Amino acid sequence: MMKEKTSASGQDVGIIIGRFQVHQLTQAHKELIQFVIDRHTKVVIFLGLSPLLVTRNNPLDFESRKQMILKEFPK
């Protein structure tokens, strides 16, 4: 059953914290983001940052990951 978006104060915010260190969002990423969008009036995605610019474990910079997410979820 789908929960309706309701908020008496208008401050219903869903938070997602992740690194998203992939060149393309996986189906699981998309489902997670959509799940949160469907249940909240506002969604904030925090992207983890490494103190090192680009490494094997963190191959993508912030802007690349931001654009990847905005491509699938422009709002």
- On whether residue 56 sits in a domain, the answer given is yes
- On whether residue 52 sits in a domain, the answer given is yes
- On whether residue 2 sits in a domain, the answer given is no
- On whether residue 4 sits in a domain, the answer given is no
pLDDT of amino acid 13: 96
Domain containing residue 46? 13-72
- On whether residue 22 sits in a domain, the answer given is yes
- On whether residue 51 sits in a domain, the answer given is yes
- On whether residue 41 sits in a domain, the answer given is yes
- On whether residue 50 sits in a domain, the answer given is yes
Q: Measuring CA to CA, how many Å separate 20 from each of 1, 26, 34, 45?
A: 28, 9, 15, 10
Share of the chain above pLDDT 70, in %: 85
Q: Give how many domains the chain has, as a whole number.
A: 1
pTM above the 0.85 mark?
A: no
pLDDT of amino acid 75: 87
